[in-house]
């Protein structure tokens, strides 16, 4: 399975649904003109939760897609997967 086991997929989806709820909550806080620091704390929590999902997806990609490219022996596919990772890392550093 390209995205990991069903349990891992379910955990990622549950975490994303919680993040979705948090984002709606922050929008409501802004509408209610809540204290800025409270809003910023919630945004920091959302960023942290999203980073955890990102890490899991990256681990899944390395364990599945990249590993398959390596074992395939196809140099073009290996290079493609390597370049995907490098491009991603470059984008996230900006």
pTM: 0.77
Q: Radius of gyration of the chain from Cα atoms?
A: 18
Where residue 11 sits, what CATH number does that domain have? 1.20.58.1000
Residue 1 within any structural domain of the chain = no
- For 34-60, the pLDDT digits (tens) are 999 999 999 999 999 999 999 999 888
The total of structural domains in the chain comes to 1
CA angle 49/54/65 to nearest 5° reads 155
Instruction: Indicate the average pLDDT of the chain.
Output: 90
**Whole-Å CA distances, 14 to 9, 19, 49, 59, 65:** 9, 9, 11, 18, 23
Domain that holds residue 39: 6-93
How crowded is residue 65: how many other Cβ atoms within 10 Å of its Cβ? 17
């Amino acid at each position: 399975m390209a995205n990991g086991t069903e349990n891992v997929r379910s955990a990622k989806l549950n975490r994303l649904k919680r993040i979705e709820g948090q984002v709606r909550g922050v929008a409501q806080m802004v509408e209610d003109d809540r204290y800025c620091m409270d809003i910023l704390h919630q945004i920091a929590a959302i960023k942290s939760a999203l980073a955890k999902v990102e890490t899991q997806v990256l681990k899944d990609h390395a364990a599945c897609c990249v590993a398959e490219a390596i074992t395939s022996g196809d140099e073009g596919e290996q290079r493609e997967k390597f370049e995907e990772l490098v491009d991603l890392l470059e984008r996230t550093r900006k």
